[in-house]
Structure 1
Amino acid sequence: MKSQFLLDPNITFLNHGSFGACPKPIFEEFQRFQLELESDPVYFIQQKQPKYLKTARENLAGFVGCQAKDLFFTANPTFAINVIMRNIKLNEGDEILSTNHEYGAMDRTWNFYCKKSGAKYIRQEISLPIVSKEQIIEEFWKGYNSNTKVVFLNQMSSATALIFPVKEICEKARTLGLITIIDGAHVPGHLELDITELNPDYYTGTLHKWMLAPKGSSFLYVKPELQNDLEPLVVSWGYESVAPGESQFLDYHELQGTRDVSAFLCTPKVVEFLEKNNWKEVSGTCKQVVLENYQRFCDLLNTKPICPITTEFLGQMASVPVTTEKPAALKELLYSKYKIQVPIMPLNGNFYIRYSINGYNTQADLNTLYHALEDIINTTDLISR
């Protein structure tokens, strides 16, 4: 499988979770669209691009479980959350209930909004180690009060790689009349996803991570009854269009002037590649490798698991606690000396070695990481035990 990817064979690549990795057939499709664009930019953008985008949305919608008319492509989830943030109308003292496990760019987005609006962003503590799904739910709702108006939650956290019970939280939030916004950056192509069944108000996810699309391909789903009130983050030709398309929602958010949307247009090829290569089975094998190695790394680093070692909480990546006072130096040494690309993730004053496993990885890759950490423990002061 590794031969189908463009990854440097001299690097042990254990960081798919950050920016993904694109297989050659999909990357070739990406370049094909770029060449087609440049061969006749006017005809491509004015005539072909709208049809290609519609086909791409239809393919994506079938994959993530919603209607094609209810989502549009974005470059990344940060853009998507900014669209929502610019449209949420909260009053001073209103609260956005979140967790202390959210992605840093999301925290910054909501902090920016709160400074402007007077609302409050509540990073409710979800304590580690996790012992059960019920614990997460109970701790999360301790942050709720009469001022809570919005629930914002990652379905899978970046730093701790933990799967959160968003379905149960969305269900309760609906009974309380709260707006639900789910950051599913790590979910499509990684975990089972049916947006219609999950039923959030807003959902964003990436294609360029676990769906293996080219970089800069993500989406925002918006519940139909909220679409007409969602103003565009970028005002362009779709606003008060002289040639309206199938919906104001898509006109507002798809038409943003001249830009290269080739990454979006690869979606049919992305879905085809995943299906052709039985990626659900590949993903299942990868998840098993993650589970089988987790305790082994905890033992090496003399730390404890942050959750039960099951697929209820872990997918194709896992974060192992590491005691270090020099996380940047540790990451740099792993890369420069041992040629291992793996992140040291910071969160709430703690650090985690987060390894990702995808179809191009083998047990040998994790053995390489294990032996490198052994060597670092024995020869440096970067890791405390």
Structure 2
Amino acid sequence: MKDLFLLDPTVTYLNHGSFGACPKPVFEAFQQMQLELETQPVSFILQKTPVYLAKAKEALADYIGCDKNDFFFTPNPTVAINTVMRSLKLQPEEEILATDHEYGAMDMTWHFYCKKTGSKYVRQNISLPVQSKEQILKEFWKGYSEKTRVVFINQMSSATALIFPVKEIVEKARELGLITIVDGAHVPGHFDLNIMDLNPDYYTGTLHKWMLAPKGSTFLYVNKKYQDALDPLVVSWGYETKAPTKSQFLENHEHQGTRDVAAFLCTPAVIDFLEKHNWKEQSDKCKQIVLDNYQRFCDLLDTKPLCPVNNEFLGQMASIEVNTDEPLALKAKLINDYNIEIPVMNLNGKYYIRYSINAYNSQADLDKLYDAIVDIKKNTKLIK
């Protein structure tokens, strides 16, 4: 599988979770779209793009389990959540309930919103190590109050790589009359996803991570009851158009002036690649490698697993706490001295090495990481 990717073969790439990696056939389809655009920009943008976009949305709708008219593409989840954030009408002191495991850019987004509105962002503590799904749910709902209006939850934490019981949280939030916003950045292509079954109010997930799409491809699903109230982040020709071709919701959000949407348009090629190479089987193999090595790395770094070592909490990523005062220097040493690309993540004052495994990886890659850490511990003071 490694030959199907464009990754530098001299680098041990254990960081798929950050920005993904695009296979050669998909990247070629992406470049073909860009070439077609440059060959005749006017006809491509005005005539061909709507046709290609419709095909891309139909393919993705089937893949993620929702109506093709209930989502639109964005470059990344940060743009998606900012779009939702700017249309919320929270009053001063009303609360957004989240966990203290959310992605840093999302925390910043909500802090920005709260400064503007006087509302409150509640980062409810989920203690580590996680013992059970029930523990997460019990601790999460301790953050609920009569002022809670919105639940914002990541389905898989970037820093800790833990899977959260989002379905149960969405169900209870619905019973409480709360708005639910799910950050599923790491989910499509990583786990089975059926948005209609999950039934959130808003859901965003990337294609350029685990679905292997080119960089800059994400979707934002919006429940029909909130579509009319969602203002466009960028006001352009679709706003109050005199010649609508689709719903006002889609007109508002799919027309943003001149931009390169090739990453969106090659979605059918992305899904074809996943199906051709039986990616569910590839993913399951990767998940098993993650589980097989987790305790081994915890022992090496003198720490405990962040959760029970099973596929209820872990997918194709795992994070291990590392005792270091120099996380940036540790990351730099791994890439500069050992050619290992891997993040050292910060969450709530603690640091975690997070390895990602995809079909281009093997056990040998983790063995190389293991040997590098042994060497660093022996010959430096970067790891205590």
Aligned-residue offset at 1:102: 0.2
CA distance in 1, matches of 2:381, 2:145: 46
What is aligned with 1:304?
Answer: 304
CA distance in 2, matches of 1:200, 1:379: 50
TM-score, with structure 2 as normaliser: 1.00
CA distance in 2, matches of 1:245, 1:150: 33
Aligned-residue offset at 1:107: 0.3
Deviation track 1:267-303 (CA, whole Å, cap 9, x = no partner) reads 0000000000000000000000000000000111111
Residue aligned with 1:57, SS: helix
Residue aligned with 1:151, SS: strand
CA distance in 2, matches of 1:131, 1:211: 30
What is aligned with 1:109?
Answer: 109
Residue aligned with 1:153, SS: strand
What is aligned with 1:353?
Answer: 353
CA distance in 2, matches of 1:242, 1:338: 59
Correspondence 1:18-37 to 2 at 5 A: 18-37=18-37
CA distance in 1, matches of 2:242, 2:5: 44
Aligned-residue offset at 1:242: 2.3
CA distance in 1, matches of 2:64, 2:281: 17
What is aligned with 2:287?
Answer: 287
Aligned residue pair count: 384
CA distance in 2, matches of 1:113, 1:208: 27
Deviation track 1:201-228 (CA, whole Å, cap 9, x = no partner) reads 0000000000000000000000011111
Deviation track 1:190-249 (CA, whole Å, cap 9, x = no partner) reads 011100000000000000000000000000000011111111000000001122022111
Correspondence 1:1-385 to 2 at 5 A: 1-384=1-384
Percent identity reads 68
What's the Cα RMSD here? 0.4
CA distance in 2, matches of 1:254, 1:55: 14
Residue aligned with 1:45, SS: helix
Structure 2 segments unaligned to the other structure (5+ residues): none
CA distance in 2, matches of 1:94, 1:40: 51
Structure 1 segments unaligned to the other structure (5+ residues): none
Residue aligned with 2:338, SS: coil
CA distance in 1, matches of 2:309, 2:175: 32
Deviation track 1:154-210 (CA, whole Å, cap 9, x = no partner) reads 000000000000000000000000000000000000011100000000000000000
CA distance in 2, matches of 1:319, 1:201: 30
Residue aligned with 1:102, SS: coil
Aligned-residue offset at 1:368: 0.4
CA distance in 2, matches of 1:315, 1:225: 32
CA distance in 2, matches of 1:183, 1:10: 33
Residue aligned with 1:229, SS: coil
Residue aligned with 2:270, SS: helix
